[in-house]
Structure 1
Amino acid sequence: MRSLPLRALDRLLTSPPDPARVGWLAQWTYAHRGLHGDDLPENTLLAFAAAADVGLGIECDIQRSADGTAMVFHDWDLERLVESEGALGLHASDFLETLRYRGREFGIARLVTLLELVDARVPVLIEIKSRPGYDIERSCTAVEAGLSGYRGRHAVMSFDPRVSRWFRENSPQTVRGLVMREDAVGHTRSAWHRHLALWIARPDFIAYHVDALPNRFTGDLRRRGFPVLTWTVDSARKRETARLHADAPIAEGAGLG
């Protein structure tokens, strides 16, 4: 019973995007953190170049350096991937570029460097990381600065609905998405939280956890004209789920086919 007024509020508070603005989203498969694997670390320029070279779109993660620069990296802390320790956000961008991925001769890249590498050949999905108490507006400003002058197809997205709202208000030409999941790790486990995030974000598209598909929420959004991407597609079974119940996969490993 409760879901009926929530869906009515979805229609009242969120208008479907212009198909001409977002139609390209469904035309690609996106390499999750680049075309990475055992021999190539995630979110590195080599992984992104490998994806672009075979015609895959790119999904990347953004953390903010101490000097307010958008850096391409997933984790809050460095030690899983890099020969250093501590929080990435405590270090300036120049220093982060000097660090080395374990066993490699290259460091963490700036967003602007990634965009120079891609050079509009394939689209780029930029996930901005956030957590409770984090100054997300500074990260949005850093990403906007990194995107300045870039003419290739791109979109920003985040689990944090404030990201989409910030770009709607400050950079309305930027395509914006809301990332969502329903499991114990997520911040939108209840239907109420999912709808509230949607209303705050008012996104152009949704990127939904593949393990939660299919569901009524994403089905309703697709019927209304919102592209639904899905992540992380890493098996043949999940690839089929994405084909049937989403518009494009964000994939890695066996999920790339």
Structure 2
Amino acid sequence: MLDPRFLTVPITHRGLHGTGVPENSIAAAQAAIDAGYGIECDIQPGPDGVPLVFHDDRLDRLTGAQGLIAATDATTLSGLRLLGTDEPVPTLAQFLDLVAGQVPLLIEIKDQDGACGPDVGTLSVNVARALSGYDGPVAVMSFNPHMIAAFRAEAPDVPVGLTTCAFAEADWSRIAPDRREELAQIRDFDAVGASFISHDKNDLDNPRVDALRAQGIPVLTWTIRSPSEEATARRAATNITFEGYRAAT
């Protein structure tokens, strides 16, 4: 089950980032730890499938380089820096060494299929192996239930959840309408052994979210960007993932 600290400690979105402190960086993780916040981070595959803490599948927005992160060789990757700082692209192993159980760590494995389908590759398995022996509050989630099923098969003792939203066609055009409806209604929750959801703040009135909450399922929500948004979200959600301000602890 989900460690209770995930229900009480506000979670920083991609670490406590801001000017001079890039998202998903070691510096952002350290800042969150120093402030007593939890950390949400994203995982993409790097050279040889090594799990990297990085949101996008492409390098350009965060590093200025071109190409897919999964297709970048280790030498090139090691020379890249995040958003004009001295911060490198961290591996999940480096992140785990830093966090070391000090605060809750919420790991989102990014979809590798392109349409939340079954072609997930080895990333989930590699994340599970990286977490082997990790001692601290940790949970893993993904928009793609297949990613979570693959992870749970390798690491059945780590709590898992689903990252969820309304799955609007404009944002998820590669997914067939029937499947988008299934995802929006969170129908894979039981099948993948999920114990929580992390749901879009703009869809918290979804009746399926209400039903899960009524069953005692923790509902986290993203991405909160102000105290007023937090106040509204907390009427429906158990805890928040936030950025751009300091949430009350």
Which has the larger helix fraction?
Answer: 1
Structure 1 unaligned blocks of 5 or more: 1-17
The answer to whether residue 128 in structure 2 is matched with residue 147 in structure 1 is no
Change (3 A) 1:192 1:103: closer
Which residue identity lines up with residue 29 of structure 2 in the other structure?
Answer: F
**2: distance between equivalents of 1:104 and 1:193?**
38
The answer to whether residue 242 in structure 2 is matched with residue 251 in structure 1 is yes
**1: distance between equivalents of 2:183 and 2:240?**
26
SS of the residue aligned with 1:196? coil
Which residue identity lines up with residue 62 of structure 2 in the other structure?
Answer: L
The counterpart of 1:125, out of the listed 97, 106, 110, is 106
**1: distance between equivalents of 2:198 and 2:184?**
16
**1: distance between equivalents of 2:184 and 2:82?**
37
**2: distance between equivalents of 1:235 and 1:189?**
29
**1: distance between equivalents of 2:233 and 2:246?**
10
Other-structure match for 2:27: 46
Which residue identity lines up with residue 119 of structure 1 in the other structure?
Answer: A
TM-score (norm 1): 0.85
Change (3 A) 1:37 1:192: closer
Q: What is the aligned-residue identity percentage?
A: 37
The answer to whether residue 76 in structure 2 is matched with residue 90 in structure 1 is no
Other-structure match for 1:185: 171
The answer to whether residue 91 in structure 2 is matched with residue 107 in structure 1 is no
The answer to whether residue 28 in structure 2 is matched with residue 55 in structure 1 is no
Could you tell me how far 1:128 is from its partner in structure 2? Answer: 0.4
**2: distance between equivalents of 1:201 and 1:157?**
11
**2: distance between equivalents of 1:224 and 1:253?**
32
Instruction: Give deviations 1:71-113, integer Å, cap 9, x for gaps.
Output: 0000011011103111000024454232112322221000010
The counterpart of 1:166, out of the listed 140, 147, 150, is 150
Change (3 A) 1:192 1:206: closer
Other-structure match for 2:62: 81
Stretch deviating more after TM superposition (212-221 or 92-101): 92-101
Could you tell me how far 1:145 is from its partner in structure 2? Answer: 1.9
The answer to whether residue 188 in structure 2 is matched with residue 194 in structure 1 is no
**1: distance between equivalents of 2:238 and 2:59?**
33
**2: distance between equivalents of 1:138 and 1:67?**
10
Change (3 A) 1:191 1:171: closer
1:69–1:93 Cα contact (<8 Å) kept: no
Which residue identity lines up with residue 94 of structure 2 in the other structure?
Answer: T
TM-score (norm 2): 0.87
**1: distance between equivalents of 2:24 and 2:210?**
31
Which residue identity lines up with residue 214 of structure 1 in the other structure?
Answer: D
**1: distance between equivalents of 2:123 and 2:143?**
13
**2: distance between equivalents of 1:178 and 1:189?**
14
Other-structure match for 1:15: none
